[in-house]
Structure 1
């Protein structure tokens, strides 16, 4: 329930801790988790950097106050289930620094935070020594869980009679638990998506009318719209890439004038809602009266067909590795139909596609993964418990666990024309280089939506009113619709 946020997150975490620590966790024990939040960083001598709370701390506490700490104490009576009545989640705020108050004002009081943060208690003033658990009962073992690289003082360990200090479980349990979004988290992400969609659509209108004519102005308009709608931060550095710049996947210079010849502006940008991310990509025609050129339209519609093919597979149990291979298959067939690829000795289209994928040729035009988990981090944790794949078509895929209900994921196929990526195939007989040359100016196309995996499929958190088809985008860029 939304009203339990973030208290319910500690229950999810403890359930994962028990599952990771079997069979020891089945026996009665005191489980004690200790986390410290982030602090404000200073650039140079006296310039504060914008503060963003460490994501694991934010997920467990809901707190954005720098210099805070969190403890979770759970008296486990045994078995494999958590008893919420015995979970004590305490937020510890830093003492008031009078000098800091002069510059930055009073920090929020515990009673103010308690109006929106549902924890066992919120208190001011703490030291690391004071937060560790007291000496445990002689007949009940203590498991002291911290993040990696956190080492309790030896005096503390001696005082509490040598509990088991473990760093191997807490981070892994956090990453696993954060995969599953609560109703409150989905609500925040839907809000971020709503603001993001409005910013994308507004930018389509401005680019189409000629009011925006360079990448810098495009970014300024996007960010300004989000700020005006209540999103103070972007979820990540916006990508506003025109023409050939869109061939660079994470291009963030955003400092060039639009090309004089018609092409596309790739916009990969998302708002933030209470630290939860949206991650949406659309492409906007530049020039040509607000319409896609022939080549831009063909590549755009190919990428859109890739996304629709992925949508058909999204449901609990689906494998993103299989969907990633499908994306390469759809791209290969599309390039064969456009004449960019040619496999003269193939006995069938299926045979040609297998040869193209075996050669790795599709990766020169679609090098990244089809999507990733989304949450407090734009590339959210938990997607790669066993690391990246060594398989060439999968090596940049960020999600390698079967989909489950409650995951929020991105679906973002793409197609890029990048000389660096294509260099290993510059003499390939499988490419019609004359035809390819006609498409290079397109730069790159990516189309991205954010989906909540449901029991029977998915719910698209990206509003359906955000233009996506060629006809829908052109209706805005040509001024036919608001």
Structure 2
């Protein structure tokens, strides 16, 4: 028996309970969860890579097979309709034989349209959950992605079951292996493209398997927060300054999201990496149940201000630096986000299961989470310190320009920036750092 089997059985029981409560409240008979279908490239005979509906993979780890369906009512055993076409052009999915099979009543479809033969005769009280309105209309469902249902599901996803936590632990263990391989490739002089190959080889996942596009950035490319171009050019040692990698792994549909930054040589930039890492670990230690994530983000800006003062980059008090927005020039994104079935997992702004929205502070518009943190929730903690020309240009024209050590800033621009990101679980008795425990 797989080590996941018992954890998965408990996971399904939790989903059943949540579903029962939602269906009762909304007076629905059940949910028809559609895995999704492939999208054809415009004016071509090929499809885009398939990405499964996250509501589908919340129930079972089938992430690469379109046209599957789940019928759930919170009481009866979930019914899986598994797509296995007769096809000699493409590989047909194997017959299911995994730890999750015992928890499902499995039926087979050879053609997508066969699902109509298995659906309830009366569908007025059934809700379609998926990304294809035309399919929902064709099959005659009474409800299409009802907002009240999705709000409740998204809000509840923040609390992870034991099965989900184990998937996230494994994603970090595999991801750590890839990050170490990427570091070694950088130190051996590899290009961004070559480093990415080393990472993918170490984790055993290709670009279409990854939960997001890998960010592999040498030198000033690290100042582009979502840099994904992957240069083939090898940078000479004398011009090699820094390396940032932000890359994750998918395990049974759950994502790791890890970032590390490395310096090519000793000096100020290497010292800044160490200083930011100290503050990153300190802010993780401050996490407590009942604390709002927004407050944690603001505390990190105070900590970053101290780093900037100690490095003699900015001559201002930490309070003034934060209130004036100077720290946001060097750290423009949020401290982190919820993590799980999606990299930027849903529900980060929800304050209750009705979907009450709390926006981030006006001065920090890119923060992705404003929730009160509670046990068994998983977050990324990813402070940064960047030298972004467009933001620095605005600062240089503003009232605080004279408080900036522009000579040092200019010396650091070729390094791009720093980001250090761990995946952490908040428990009632402390924090479990999945990334550090994995060996990074």
- Using structure 1 for the length normalisation, give the TM-score: 0.78
CA contact (8 A) 1:306 1:331 kept: yes
Cα offset, 1:263, TM superposition: 1.4
Identify the residue that residue 336 of structure 2 maps to in structure 1: 371
Measured after TM superposition, the shift of residue 433 of structure 1 is 2.0
Deviations 1:241-300 (A, max 9, x none): 1111101111111214336334110111122222221111111222x3xxx3x2112321
Comparing 148-157 with 248-257, greater Cα deviation is found at 148-157
Secondary structure of 1:439's aligned partner: helix
Structure 2 equivalent of residue 234 of structure 1:
210
- Tell me if the contact between 2:81 and 2:115 (Cα under 8 Å) persists in the aligned partners: no
2:76 is matched with 87
RMSD of Structure 2 on Structure 1 (CA): 3.1
Question: Counterpart in 1 of 2:221?
Answer: 245
- CA distance change for structure 1 residues 164 and 367 in 2, over 3 Å: closer, same or farther? closer
Superposed CA offset, 1:3-59 (max 9, x none): 36656556544644666688x56xxx6631112112233435333443332211111
> Aligned partners of 2:379, 2:346: CA distance in 1, in Å?
11
Alpha-carbon spacing, 1:203–1:155, altered in 2? closer, same or farther (3 Å): closer
Aligned match of 2:73: 73
Measure, in 2, the Cα distance between the counterparts of 1:203 and 1:165.
44
Structure 2 counterpart of 1:133 = 120
Aligned length: 421
Query: Take 1:257 and 1:318, find their aligned partners in 2: how far apart are those partners?
Result: 46
Residue of structure 2 equivalent to 1:47: 46
Could you tell me which of 78, 96, 102 is aligned with 2:88?
102
Counterparts of 1:265-284 in structure 2 under 5 Å?
265-284=243-262
Contact 1:417–1:440 (CA<8 Å) still a contact in 2?
yes
1:116 aligns with 2:100: yes
Judged with a 3 Å threshold, the aligned counterparts in structure 2 of structure 1 residues 93 and 435 are, in CA distance, closer, same or farther, namely: closer
SS in 1 for 2:243: strand
Asked if 2 retains the 8 angstrom alpha-carbon contact of 1:7 and 1:60, the reply is no
- In the alignment, is the contact (CA less than 8 A) between 1:227 and 1:233 conserved in 2? no
How does 1:28-43 map onto structure 2 within 5 Å?
31-43=29-41
For the pair shown, the structure with the greater C-alpha radius of gyration is 1
Unpaired runs of at least 5, structure 2: 351-355
For 1:429 and 1:298, locate their aligned partners in 2 and report how far apart those are by CA, in whole Å. 24
How far residue 429 of structure 1 moved from its aligned partner, in angstroms, is: 2.4
**Corresponding position of 1:3:** 5
- Matched with 1:475 is none
**Residue of 273, 280, 295 corresponding to 2:268:** 295
> Do 2:173 and 2:438's aligned partners in 1 also have CA atoms closer than 8 Å?
no
Asked if 1:435 is matched to 2:421, the reply is no
Determine if contact 1:449/1:462 at 8 Å carries over to the other structure: yes
SS in 1 for 2:276: helix
Residues of 1 paired with 2:21 and 2:68: CA distance?
Answer: 28
Structure 2: distance between partners of 1:59 and 1:105: 25
Q: 1:371, 1:399 within 8 Å by CA — same for their partners in 2?
A: yes
- Give the Cα–Cα distance (whole angstroms) in 2 for the partners of residues 155 and 277 of structure 1: 33
SS at match of 1:169: helix
2:191 maps to what in 1?
Answer: 214
Find the aligned partners of 1:164 and 1:50 in 2 and give their Cα distance.
28
Gaps of 5+ in 1: 75-85, 137-141, 158-162, 344-351, 468-482
* SS of residue paired to 2:346: coil
How has the CA–CA distance of structure 1 residues 88 and 116 changed in structure 2, closer, same or farther, with 3 Å as cutoff? closer
1:165 and 1:335, CA in 2 relative to 1: closer, same or farther beyond 3 A?
closer
- Distance in 2 separating the partners of 1:184 and 1:253: 35
Q: For residue 121 of structure 1, report the CA deviation from its aligned partner.
A: 1.1
C-alpha separation in 1, matches of 2:161 and 2:360 = 33
